[in-house]
C-alpha cells in the first residue's frame, strides 16, 4: 500500500516537472501574460503628499518579434470583440513611482518623455516589451481644483431661486389647503402637491385606447437603462476587461449591447401618437399650416425647462462634487463640452453635430 502511494507521488511530481518544461519551451500565453489593459494607482494615497503628481497616460507598445507581442497582436485582431491590448492606459502616481516633481504637472513634452522612460522600464522588466509612444492626458496635483466662476454662481442662484419658489409654494399649499384651485395659475405650477397629483392621475396612465404602449415603454426603458450601464462599464477603465470581451459571445449580454436598436420603438410610438393627436385635434379645430410650427414650439417649451436644468448642473456644479483619477476625463470633459456646445441642445438638434463633442450625449 505504502509503496503504491510512493510510486503515485513520484509519478505525479515527474509529470508536473515535464509538463512545466513543455510550457517553458513553447511559451504558452494566456490572457494574464499580457500587460494589464488599464491600471490605476491609488489616487487618494498618492495625493496625500504635498508635492505629489498623478498623471493619466495612454501608451502604445512597440511592435517587435517577441512571441508575447505576436500573441497580443493576434489576440487583438478582432477589433469588434476585443480591446486593443497593445494600447495601454495607466494612472500613474508619477511623483512616487517615476520620481517626477511638481514642475512636471503641466503635462508638457518633458512630462511625456519622463513618463515614457519610466513606464518603458517597468514594462520591459515585467514583460520584455517596449513602449513606442506615450501621451499624457493630464496630470493632477494636490492644489489642483476647479475655481468657482461667474457662470457657476449665476446658474446656482437661478436654481436656488427655483427651489425656493417650489418650497414656498408647497408650504403655502400645505398650511392653507383650503383655497386649492384658486390663486395664480403660474404660481401653482411650482407646487409639489399639484404636480404629484398630475403625475399620478394625469394622461391616460390607467389605460385607454393605447394601453399596450405602457408595456412597450416599460420594456424599452429597461433595455435602455441596461444598455447605458453596459456602455459606462466598457467606457471606463475596468479591472477585468476579459469579462466584457467574453460578453459578446453570451446571447443575453449581446442582447443588451445591441439594445440601441430598440430605441426605434420610441420613434414609432412617438410618431404614431403625434399623428393620432393631430388628427383628433383637426376634428375640432381648424387645422392650417400654422398649426405645425405651433406644435413644434409647444414641444420645445415642454422639453426645454428640464433640459436646461440638467445642462446647467452639468456645466457648473456637478464637476465640483467630487474628484478622482478619471473625474477630469469624464465629468470635467462634459462641463467643457456643455460650455461650448450647449446651443446644440437648445435647438434640439444635437444629432446633426459630431457625437464626440456633444453636451450630454445621452440627450441626443
* Footprint on this chain of ligand NAG (rule: CB under 6 A): 13-14, 17, 62, 74, 101-103, 105-106, 120-121, 124, 130-131
User: Buried b vs exposed e over 172-188: b needs ≥16 C-beta within 10 Å?
Assistant: ebeeeeeeeeeeeeeeb
Closest approach of ligand NAG to the CB of residue 129, in Å: 9
Closest approach of ligand NAG to the CB of residue 119, in Å: 9
Closest approach of ligand NAG to the CB of residue 329, in Å: 19
Q: Which is nearer to ligand NAG, 4 or 267 (CB)?
A: 4
Q: Which three cell numbers stand for residue 155?
A: 446658474
Stretch (H or E) spanning 242:
helix 241-247
3 state DSSP class of 91: strand
Distance CA 78, CA 61 (A): 18
Closest approach of ligand NAG to the CB of residue 59, in Å: 10
Q: Which is nearer to ligand NAG, 68 or 102 (CB)?
A: 102
Question: Which residue, among 307, 310, 309, 330, has the nearest Cα to 319 in the 3D structure?
Answer: 330
Distance CA 353, CA 344 (A): 8
DSSP state of 207: -
| Edge-first strand listing for the sheet containing 53-61 | 38-40, 87-93, 53-61, 131-141
Q: Under 8 Å CB-to-CB from 65, ≥6 apart: which residues?
A: none
What secondary structure does DSSP assign to 282-309, as a single string?
HHHS---TTHHHHHHHHHHHHHHHHHHH
Closest approach of ligand NAG to the CB of residue 325, in Å: 20
Q: Which is nearer to ligand NAG, 121 or 204 (CB)?
A: 121
Q: Which is nearer to ligand NAG, 108 or 204 (CB)?
A: 108
For CA atoms 352, 355, 359, 363, give the dihedral sign. positive
Closest approach of ligand NAG to the CB of residue 17, in Å: 4
Q: Which three cell numbers stand for residue 137?
A: 492626458
**Cell numbers 477589433: residue:** 79
Contact at 8 Å (CB) between 123 and 131? yes
Closest approach of ligand NAG to the CB of residue 131, in Å: 6
Q: Which is nearer to ligand NAG, 53 or 227 (CB)?
A: 53
Closest approach of ligand NAG to the CB of residue 16, in Å: 8
Q: Which is nearer to ligand NAG, 106 or 166 (CB)?
A: 106
Q: Which is nearer to ligand NAG, 131 or 359 (CB)?
A: 131
Q: Which is nearer to ligand NAG, 29 or 266 (CB)?
A: 29
Cα 52 to Cα 100, 246, 319, 325, distances in angstroms: 8, 38, 22, 13
Q: Which is nearer to ligand NAG, 149 or 356 (CB)?
A: 149
Closest approach of ligand NAG to the CB of residue 351, in Å: 35
Contact at 8 Å (CB) between 233 and 253? no
Amino acid at each position: 500500500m505504502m509503496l503504491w502511494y510512493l510510486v503515485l507521488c513520484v509519478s505525479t511530481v515527474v509529470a508536473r516537472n515535464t509538463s512545466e518544461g513543455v510550457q517553458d519551451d513553447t511559451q504558452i500565453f494566456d490572457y494574464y501574460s499580457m500587460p494589464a489593459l488599464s491600471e490605476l494607482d491609488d489616487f487618494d494615497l498618492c495625493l496625500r503628499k504635498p508635492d505629489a503628481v498623478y498623471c493619466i497616460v495612454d501608451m502604445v507598445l512597440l511592435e517587435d518579434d517577441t512571441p508575447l507581442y505576436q500573441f497580443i497582436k493576434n489576440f487583438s485582431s478582432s477589433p469588434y470583440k476585443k480591446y486593443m491590448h497593445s494600447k495601454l492606459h495607466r494612472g500613474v502616481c508619477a511623483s512616487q513611482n517615476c520620481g517626477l516633481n511638481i514642475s512636471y504637472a503641466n503635462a508638457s513634452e518633458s512630462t511625456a518623455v519622463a513618463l515614457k522612460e519610466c513606464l518603458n522600464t517597468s514594462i520591459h522588466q515585467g514583460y520584455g516589451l517596449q513602449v513606442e509612444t506615450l501621451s499624457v492626458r493630464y496630470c493632477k496635483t494636490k492644489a489642483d481644483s476647479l475655481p468657482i466662476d461667474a457662470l457657476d454662481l449665476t446658474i446656482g442662484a437661478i436654481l436656488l431661486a427655483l427651489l425656493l419658489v417650489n418650497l414656498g409654494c408647497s408650504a403655502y399649499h400645505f398650511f392653507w389647503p383650503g383655497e386649492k384651485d384658486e390663486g395664480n395659475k403660474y404660481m401653482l405650477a411650482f407646487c409639489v402637491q399639484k404636480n404629484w397629483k398630475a403625475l399620478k392621475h394625469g394622461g391616460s396612465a390607467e389605460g385607454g385606447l393605447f394601453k399596450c404602449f405602457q408595456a412597450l415603454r416599460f420594456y424599452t426603458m429597461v433595455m435602455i437603462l441596461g444598455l447605458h450601464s453596459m456602455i459606462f462599464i466598457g467606457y471606463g477603465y475596468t479591472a477585468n476587461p476579459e469579462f466584457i470581451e467574453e460578453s459578446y459571445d453570451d446571447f443575453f449580454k449581446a442582447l443588451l449591447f445591441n439594445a440601441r436598436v430598440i430605441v426605434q420603438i420610441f420613434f414609432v410610438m412617438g410618431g404614431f401618437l403625434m399623428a393620432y393627436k393631430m388628427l383628433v385635434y383637426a376634428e375640432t379645430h381648424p387645422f392650417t399650416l400654422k398649426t405645425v410650427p405651433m406644435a413644434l414650439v409647444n414641444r420645445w417649451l415642454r422639453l426645454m425647462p428640464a433640459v436646461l436644468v440638467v445642462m446647467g448642473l452639468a456645466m457648473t456644479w456637478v464637476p465640483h462634487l467630487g474628484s478622482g483619477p478619471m473625474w477630469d476625463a469624464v465629468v470635467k470633459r462634459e462641463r467643457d463640452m456643455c460650455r461650448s456646445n450647449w446651443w446644440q441642445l437648445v435647438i434640439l438638434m444635437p444629432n446633426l453635430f459630431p457625437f464626440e463633442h456633444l453636451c450630454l450625449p445621452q440627450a441626443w
